[in-house]
Amino acid sequence: MSSLYERLGGEKAVNAAVELFYRRVLADGRIARFFEDVDMEDQIAKQKSFLTMAFGGPNKYTGKDMRNAHRRLVEKGLNDSHVDAVIDNLNTTLRQLGVPETEVKEVAALANSVRDDVLGR
């Protein structure tokens, strides 16, 4: 059985999803404020890297990396509802791209697995 990342189409799938996903996130009133004042090029690289992780692709993130990366946002009030919103947008993006429901759920589960680290708990 091939890995989730391979089944989704690897880097090509990430590239296809990243701009659609980032547009959704920026347009989502629940979370848009966390993305103000960030450099869009830096941010899209981070979104791409988030998708790679959520697709089960190569990454060497540690819990500490996730905590450090989101510390400032947690100080600004980042909580569970915002993580839910991000995962919502991720699900919608994948469905829009025709990804089967089984894989959508697997991706959501991977994204969800870093929730506590992201929220610094």
Partner 1 sequence: MSLLTYMDRPVPIAPGETVLEALLRAGIEAKSSCRAGTCQTCMHRAVSGTPPEASQRGLTEAQKAMGFFLPCVCKPETPLAIAPRDDAGARREAVVRSLERLSHDIIRLRIEADDFDYRPGQFLELIADDDLKRHYSLASHPEDDPYLEMHIRLHENGRMSRRLTERLAPGHRLHVAGPSGTCFYEGVDPDQPLVLIGAGTGLAPLYGVLRDALKRGHRGPIRLYHGARDPRGLYLRDELEALAGSRENLTYRPCALDADAHLRGDVAAVALESETGLEHSAFFLCGGENLVKRLKRDLFMRGASLRAIRADAFTPGA
Nearest in space to 70 (alpha carbons), one of 80, 55, 58 = 80
Nearest to partner 1 of 53, 85 (CB atom): 53
Single out the residue of 13, 17, 53, 90 in contact with partner 1 (rule: CB under 8 A).
53
CB of 10 to partner 1, least distance (A): 12
Determine whether 82 is exposed, middle or buried from the number of CB atoms within 10 Å of its CB (0-12, 13-18, 19+): buried
Rounded to the nearest 5 percent, the helix, strand and coil shares of the chain are: 75, 0, 25
Establish if 4 lies at the interface with partner 1 (CB under 8 A): no
Establish if 44 lies at the interface with partner 1 (CB under 8 A): yes
Single out the residue of 6, 33, 45, 63 in contact with partner 1 (rule: CB under 8 A).
45
What whole-number distance in Å separates Cα of residue 21 and Cα of residue 3? Answer: 22
The residues binding partner 1 (CB under 8 A) are 11, 14, 19, 22-23, 26-27, 40-42, 44-46, 48-49, 52-53, 57-61, 65, 69
